Chains A and B, each alone.
Chain A
Amino acid sequence: MNAIVISAIWGVVMMFSGIFSKNNTVIRGTALTGLALLILVNILEMNGVLLFKVNLHGMLYFDSFNLLFNTIAFGSTFLYAILSGRDMEKVGRSVSDYFALIFFILCGVAISSSFNTLLMLFLGIEIMSIPLYILTGTDKRNLKSNEASLKYFLMGSFSTGLMLMGITLIYGAKGSFNLETISLGTGALTPMVSAGLLLLLFSMSFKVSAAPFHFWTPDVYDGAPTVFTSFMATIIKSAAFIAFLRLFDDAFGEMHPHWQLVVSIVTAATLLIGNITAVFQQSVKRMLAYSSIAQAGFMMFALVALNNLGRQGLIFYTAAYSVATIGVFAVLIKMKDYTFEGFNGLAKRQPVLAATTAIFLLSLAGIPGTAGFMAKFYMLAAAVSNGHVMWLVIVGVLCAAISVYYYFRVIQAMYFKEGDAQEMEVSSIFKALLVIMAAIVVLLGLFPQWLLDKLNYFF
Chain B
Amino acid sequence: MIPVLLIVIPLLSGLAAFFLKGEKGVKTWALLSTVITLAVSLLGLTVLNKAANLHTEVEWLPLLGSKFSVGLDGMGQVLCLLTAVAFPMIFVATWNSSYKNAHNFYAFMLLSQAGLMGVFLAYDALLFYFFWELALIPAYFLCSQWGGEKRIAVTFKFFIYTFIGSLLMLVGIIYLYLHTPDQSFALESFYKAVLTSKEQGWIFWLFFIAFAIKMPVFPFHTWQPDTYEQSPTAVTMVLSGVMVKMGLFGVLRWLAPVLPMATWLNGDTVALLCVIGMIYASLIAMQQDDLKRLIAYSSIAHMGLMCMAIFVTSDQGLQGVMIQMFNHGINIIGMWIVVELIERQMHTRKISELGGLAQKAPGLAIMLVVVALANVALPLTNAFIGEFLLFSGVFNSTVSKVGYVFAAAGGVTIILSAVYTLNMIQRVFFGNTNTLTGAMRDIKFNERFVLGVLVIVILVIGVYPRPFLELTQGSVDTILSRMIIKHPS
* Interface of A toward B, CB cutoff 8 Å: 362, 367-369, 373, 377, 380-381, 384-385, 393-394, 397-398, 400-401, 404-405, 408, 412, 415-417, 447-449, 452-453, 456
Contact = CB atoms under 8 A, between A and B. Distances in A.
A416 B167 contact: no
Contact of A400 (B126, B132, B133, B167): B167
Nearest to B178: A385
Contact of B151 (A368, A398, A416): A416
Contacts of A394: 168, 171
B130 interface: yes
Most A C-beta atoms less than 10 A away, residue of B63, B141, B160: B63
A415 B145 contact: yes
Contact of A452 (B64, B156, B160, B168): B64
B164 A449 contact: no
A412 B170 contact: no
B61 interface: yes
A369 B134 contact: yes
Given A368-B134, A381-B177, A408-B156, 5 more contacts: A397-B164, A401-B167, A415-B141, A416-B152, A453-B63
A404 B157 CA distance: 11
B332 to A, nearest CB: 26
B280 interface: no
Please give me the 3 A-B residue pairs with the lowest Cβ-Cβ distance, nearest first. Answer: A401-B164, A397-B167, A368-B133
A368 B173 CA distance: 14
Contacts of A456: 63
B137 A362 contact: yes
Interface in B149-181: 151-152, 156, 159-160, 163-164, 167-168, 170-171, 174-175, 177-178
Contact of B171 (A393, A405, A412): A393
30 contacts: A362-B137, A367-B137, A368-B130, A368-B132, A369-B134, A373-B133, A380-B174, A381-B174, A381-B177, A381-B178, A384-B175, A384-B178, A394-B168, A398-B167, A401-B160, A401-B163, A401-B167, A404-B159, A404-B163, A405-B156, A408-B156, A408-B159, A415-B144, A415-B145, A416-B151, A417-B152, A449-B63, A452-B63, A453-B63, A456-B63
A369 B114 CA distance: 13
B488 interface: no
B62 interface: yes
A416 B144 contact: yes
B404 interface: no
Contacts of A380: 170-171, 174
B246 to A, nearest CB: 14
Contacts of A400: 167
Contacts of B152: 412, 416-417
Contacts of A447: 60
B63 A377 contact: no
A351 to B, nearest CB: 10
A368 B129 contact: yes
Interface string B172-205: 0011011000000000000000000000000000
Nearest to A405: B160
Given A368-B133, A401-B160, A377 B61 contact: no
A320 to B, nearest CB: 15
A452 B65 CA distance: 12
Interface in B340-392: none
B102 to A, nearest CB: 15
A393 B61 CA distance: 23
A363 to B, nearest CB: 12
Given A401-B160, A404-B159, A377 B170 contact: yes
B171 A384 contact: yes
A20 B413 CA distance: 84
A432 to B, nearest CB: 16
A385 B167 CA distance: 17
A393 B152 CA distance: 29
A181 B156 CA distance: 53
A312 to B, nearest CB: 9
A342 to B, nearest CB: 17
Contacts of B137: 362, 367
B156 A412 contact: yes
Contact of A397 (B145, B156, B171): B171
A456 B62 CA distance: 11
Contacts of B144: 412, 415-416
A374 B159 CA distance: 20
